[in-house]
Amino acid sequence: MKELHPKQQQLLEILKSNISDPLTLEELAQRLSVSSKSVAFHHVKQLEKKGYLKRNPDNPRDYIILKDPERNVVYLPMYGCAKCGPEGTLLSGAPTRVVPVDPSMIYFPACKGFMVEAKGDSMENIIAPRDWLIVEQNCQPKNRDIVVCVNQGEVMVKRFSQDGENIILQSQNKKYSPIVADRHSFHVEGIVRSIIKRNF
């Protein structure tokens, strides 16, 4: 990581403290006591260039802090698993929260990471309800990968396999039958890379 200008360090702290209710560029400029929005935007771009920040190109107020230099954590957005976003994808919706995660738990670029909270019992005994899943954005899973996907507008966590032209979504729990994915609406949001058990 490259060294930060004092204003960029200040900006990073402001972004962290307002991540659940992001500020506009005008508000950032006011908090930084700089002359204009363009100066604030310059420092935002420098944070991106130096690897501390990633912004959603479709929504600049939706961002991920990739590195906290003082606490040595990365911040991953958590998305609800019960509902799709407005375009029928999980990631087009707004994150429900942002979770600090130890970088050692992530074996892929943090900018591709997100989290979901598991619901239901279809993946027991691997994934229990309320477990947190660390997911890598990736639309090209291999057979037997556990994926977060959308099928006919429903977000689900299933084991992926492909049989010829058919994509089969399998549950771990034997009481649920395999699902043949709808080829017109199905897409993979990401591959589950880690599971944080939250049994309590």
Q: Is 11 helix (H, G, I), strand (E, B) or coil?
A: helix
Predicted structure pTM score:
0.66
Residue scoring higher pLDDT (96 or 135)? 135
pLDDT reading at 87 higher than 60: no
Residue 148, pLDDT score: 93
Pairwise CA distance, residues 184 & 100, whole Å:
36
Q: Which of 102, 13, 98 is nearest to 52 (CA)?
A: 13
Output the six-digit token pair for 86.
Answer: 């407005």
Residue 191, pLDDT score: 94
- Point out the residues that are catalytic: 122, 158
pLDDT grade for 88, boundaries at 50, 70 and 90: low
Q: Which residues contact 154 (CB under 8 A, 6 or more apart)?
A: 84
pLDDT grade for 16, boundaries at 50, 70 and 90: confident
pLDDT reading at 161 higher than 90: yes
